[in-house]
Amino acid sequence: MILCDASVMVAAINKGDIDHLRCLHAINPLQQRLISTQACIAEAMHLLRNYTGWRGQESLINWIESDFLLVHHSTEAEDKRACALMREYADAPMDYADASLVATAEVLGITGILTLDRHFFAYRINGKDSFQLSPD
């Protein structure tokens, strides 16, 4: 599995996004399912509603219903870890959606992430491991 940030979900679905093809090309050759957090999916749904209306949201719903995108349901401990990460990276800054991805990476042992957000280069999994970002 590979983590998926809201930025890639939105760009891959929104044909008008400058990074649309770049994100599709990053997703298509993957032989693994995507996984994201409820916070990232909520953020993507909000942005898709603004950019594409219901059709974009429906596309993301289809990703979930087809099991192309798995929804990680965080535990209370992961939620608290996300809050601690936001404090740790307050100068980055880190929002809750990004923090939830880092906490999920720590729990699931995943280092690969699909994101357009370059600040993931600064984030560390368990305080030490770097993310492997795509698309390049």
pTM for this predicted structure: 0.95
Give the per-residue pLDDT at 88. 96
Q: Which ranges of the chain have pLDDT less than 50? A: none
| Amino acid at residue number 57 | Q
Degrees (nearest 5) of the Cα angle 58, 30, 112? Answer: 95
Give the per-residue pLDDT at 15. 96
Q: What domains does the chain contain, in order, with CATH numbers?
A: 2-134 (3.40.50.1010)
> Cβ contacts of residue 46 below 8 Å, gap of 6+?
none
Taking each helix axis from N to C end, the angle separating 54-65 and 38-52, rounded to the nearest 10 degrees, works out to: 150
Structure tokens at 84: 């601690």
* Sign for the pseudo-dihedral over CA of 72, 75, 80, 81: negative
Give the per-residue pLDDT at 32. 81
- How far is Cα 106 from Cα 125, in angstroms, rounded to an integer? 6
